Amino acid sequence: MSLNKQHELHARRKGRNVGVGLLLAGFVVLVMALTVVKLTSQDFTWPDSKSEEQN
């Protein structure tokens, strides 16, 4: 018996792949949002590159 295009296995694997894809996309968005929040918070300071160069 060979697998035809409509085999239930394909649907299940597609569901799994779509799920992983959505999770990865969500993770990218989350890291992006976290980065923006961290960079724009008042506690954040850029490293002082001038003083490092002088040292």
- For other proteins, the binding residues (CB under 8 A) are 1-4, 7, 9, 12-13, 15-16, 18-20, 30, 33-34, 37, 41
Q: 3 or 51: whose CB is closer to other proteins?
A: 3
Q: 1 or 55: whose CB is closer to other proteins?
A: 1
> What tokens does 44 get?
């954040």
Contact assessment for residue 14 and residue 20, using Cβ atoms and an 8 Å cutoff:
no
Q: What is the rounded distance in angstroms from the CA atom of residue 19 to the CA atom of residue 40?
A: 32
Could you tell me how many residues make up the chain? 55
Q: 44 or 46: whose CB is closer to other proteins?
A: 44
